[in-house]
Structure 1
C-alpha cells in the first residue's frame, strides 16, 4: 500500500510492482512480496475513493534507491534510483515506514475501537510506552486476508485469487484460505440438487 502510485492503475487493474522496504535503517523501493509483479482488479468504488483522496491530498514524487533482494549488500552508490508518485506519504512529504505507521496509526486505531488492548497507563514521571502487545492476527497484513475472504465468499475461483495475490501455486492459496470458504460445499450441493430436479 505504501508503495502504491495512482500511475499503477491501467484499464481497471492495479499493477503491483513495488513495495517500500526497510534495510539497515534505510527505506528503499523494492519488488513486491515474493518478487512477483501482478495485476489485481480495481473495483470502481475503490477507484472513486482513490480519486477523491487525490483531490484532498495530492500525490507526491518520492525518490528512493531500489533494493534487489538478490543483491542485499550492493553498495548504495551502485543502486539505481526510482522516482514514484506516491498516493500516501508522511506529513513531511516522505515515504511511510510501515513499522512507524503500525505503531503510531494502525495499533492506536485498533485500540480505539476495542479490537486490541490499549497501551498501559503510564505512571507519573514515566515515559509513554509505544510497545504494543504482540497481535499477529490483528496486524496490517490481515487486510490481505480480508480481501481473500471476501473474494472467496463471493465465489471467486482459487486460480484467479492466487494470481491476484501473487501466489505461484493455487494449491498454496487453497491451503491458506480454505477456512474462508464455508459456503463452498453448500453451493455445490445446491447445484447438484438443481440438476437432479431438472432431470426429474
Structure 2
C-alpha cells in the first residue's frame, strides 16, 4: 500500500490515505471537503459522494443515502494538512443527484447545483472522474508498485490493455481499513457504523475472517483498548 502511495502523483496521494485511514468508498473520498473535517473533535463527516450518472458527474448522498461520522486518526489529519499546504481545496460546482435537465420545478429544486471545496481535484481543478482515475492514475501506480503487470501494448489490435485487477481496486483500501480496525480490537458494531453498513451482521459476515483469533487467557477483542484510536472499543453485549 505504501508503495502504491509513493507511485501516485502528489495531488492524488491523499485519496489513498483517506481510503485506508477512514474506510471511505471511492466516490465519498472524491467528494470529501475541508468543511467535512473537524480537526478539533477528531471526526470526519461523510456527507456526499461524487458519482457518475449518465456519463456526467454530480454530487449525491453516500451509498444508501445515509450520512455518517468516522473517527479521524492523527495520521490522516496530518496527511490532510500536509496535502493542503501544496494543494488548496478547490470550489467545485456540480448538480445534485442527477445531472440531466429537470422536467419539473420540484426536480429543478432538488437538482440545483451545489458548490463544495473539494480536498482532492484533478489537474484541471475539477471533480475527478473515477473512470479516468482508475485507468490513468490508479492502475499505473499499481503497476509501478509491482501489484499488477505493466501495461500490455502488444495486443493484435494495438489496444492498451491493463491486467484485470478487480481485487486491487480502490475498494481494497476499505478492506484494509476494516482489517486494521478489527485487529486493533474495535467492535463489529463500531466498524459497521464507520463503513456505513446498516446491518452489523453484514459487516460480520464480510469481515469475520479478519477477526484476530483469541489467545488463551487473553482479554476479548471487543473489550480491550484500541491502539489505533486510543480509546476503548464498544463492548459486545452477551445474551440474556
Same topology, TM > 0.5: yes
Q: What RMSD over aligned residues (CA atoms) do the two structures have, in Å?
A: 2.2
How far 1:150 moved relative to its partner? 0.3
- Corresponding residue for 2:189? 159
| 1:147-188 superposed Cα distances (whole Å, 9 cap, x missing partner) | 00000011101111101011111111000000111x2432x7
- In structure 2, the gaps of 5 or more residues are 1-28, 221-240
Distance across 1 between alignment mates of 2:219 and 2:88: 49
- Corresponding residue for 2:141? 109
Q: What is the aligned length?
A: 185
Q: Does 1:190 align with 2:221?
A: no
* 1:58-77 paired onto structure 2 within 5 Å: 58-67=88-97, 75=102
- Corresponding residue for 2:49? 19
- TM-score when normalising by structure 1: 0.85
Distance across 2 between alignment mates of 1:6 and 1:128: 40
Distance across 2 between alignment mates of 1:34 and 1:74: 24
How far 1:6 moved relative to its partner? 1.3
Distance across 1 between alignment mates of 2:196 and 2:135: 27
**Residue aligned with 1:4, SS:** coil
Distance across 1 between alignment mates of 2:213 and 2:66: 28
- In structure 1, the gaps of 5 or more residues are 193-200
Q: Does 1:84 align with 2:116?
A: yes
**Residue aligned with 2:114, SS:** strand
**Residue aligned with 2:125, SS:** coil
| 1:102-146 superposed Cα distances (whole Å, 9 cap, x missing partner) | 10011010011111111113479x7561x3232211011111110
Higher relative contact order (CA 8 A, sep 6+): 2
- TM-score when normalising by structure 2: 0.71
Alignment CA distance shift 1:191-1:52 (3 Å): closer
Distance across 2 between alignment mates of 1:59 and 1:155: 34
Alignment CA distance shift 1:169-1:74 (3 Å): farther
Alignment CA distance shift 1:86-1:164 (3 Å): same
**Selected match of 1:2 from 17, 30, 40:** 30
Distance across 2 between alignment mates of 1:121 and 1:108: 13
Distance across 2 between alignment mates of 1:98 and 1:189: 47
